[in-house]
Amino acid sequence: MRIIVCPGDGIGPEIVAAAMEVLQATATRFGLDLSFDYEDVGFASLEKYGTTLRDEVLQKAKTYDGIILGPQSHMDYPPVEKGGRNISAAFRVGLDLYANIRPARSRPFLDRGVPNMDLVIMREATEDFYPDRNMTVGWAEFMPSPDMALSIRKITAKASERIARRAFEWAMKRRKKVTAVHKVNSFKLTDGLFLEQVRKVSKDYPEVQLDEVLIDAMTAHLVRDASRFDVIVATNFYGDILSDLASELSGSIGLAGSIMASDSQCCAQAQHGSAPDIAGQDKANPSSMILSVAMMLQWIGDYQNMPIIRQAGEKIESAVDKVLENPNYRTADLGGPIGCKAFGSLVAEAVQFV
């Protein structure tokens, strides 16, 4: 199995290194035949090649079984015309990684977060309010005059239908409940089209209960009682906001695993940003990156019908929890004393025994 690794910016190289140590240990335990190729993206690529993402890297990534993508400091990149390409957006659109899958769950042994939460946010990732993925040529925000800025939202039936179908598929493997998030009272056409497709797909899954909740009410419901939700399906913008909220409610956004998937390929990407303020200080929590790699293995195992690969991913998740159970083995964001590298080594060791 071939995997391309792009460490990214800020804490990216540190948390990716920790995840790779865990992945190597897992490969040894389960006898997985893994090979890795590394490519620079972000500021490292900008310095070497004049762009944060070369087209050849994106095209090369299409040939791999899996992708590991570290966080990026895209807010600090130069303009696109000067090489500051949004890497996540380029991967999502260029490889059609339309399903951004973000689970969030409570861990009873952590002295933080909300109780009894176990949900998955299925976020569409290729359109909506994001101006860097709404036009074939150009940017979907513009200023007709100095005191006026306009932005174009794009919602399509195709993108809405396929993310809805992934949500119902996941719900069938879980508690058979889907919650569609929208603001159709204001966005009658765009969110209306999204809901129309969700309802259409729901007819193919009569065993799954479908609820529809306004985005503003949804934030309140998550805080009040997150246990009521199973699979949440949302357009790009709403899903982005809700997944950060759900992850923090789980105890820390540093615990938030995330994958981006097409119909044939999967990319592991930590849910959080690049945290440049602590880069190089061994303070980062690599759990999100490690859990994202675990999710990637589970996805590949299912796609390739190789249960051993799925099992390997599940064992990584168990190893992360095993380490987190000990307060002395937690990183600073969880009130613990250890650093990024030590945490990764502890999880790599735990993989051998869970």
Query: Token pair 């044939």 is at which residue?
Result: 264
Rounded to the nearest 5 degrees, what angle is found at the Cα of 88, between the Cα atoms of 83 and 89?
A: 80
User: What tokens were used for 130?
Assistant: 């994001």
Q: Of 348, 258, 268, 272, whose CA–CA distance to 300 is shortest?
A: 268
C-alpha dihedral over 282, 287, 289, 292, to 10 degrees? 180
Q: Which residues contact 31 (CB under 8 A, 6 or more apart)?
A: 308
Half-sphere exposure of 160 (CA within 13 A, CB side): 23
Token digits of residue 103: 């689970």
Helix (H) / strand (E) containing 13: helix 12-30
Active site residues: 130, 183, 216, 240, 244
By DSSP bridging, strand 266-269 and strand 259-261 are: antiparallel
Pairing of strands 231-234, 177-182: parallel
Chain centroid offset of residue 322 CA: 22
* DSSP designation for 78: P
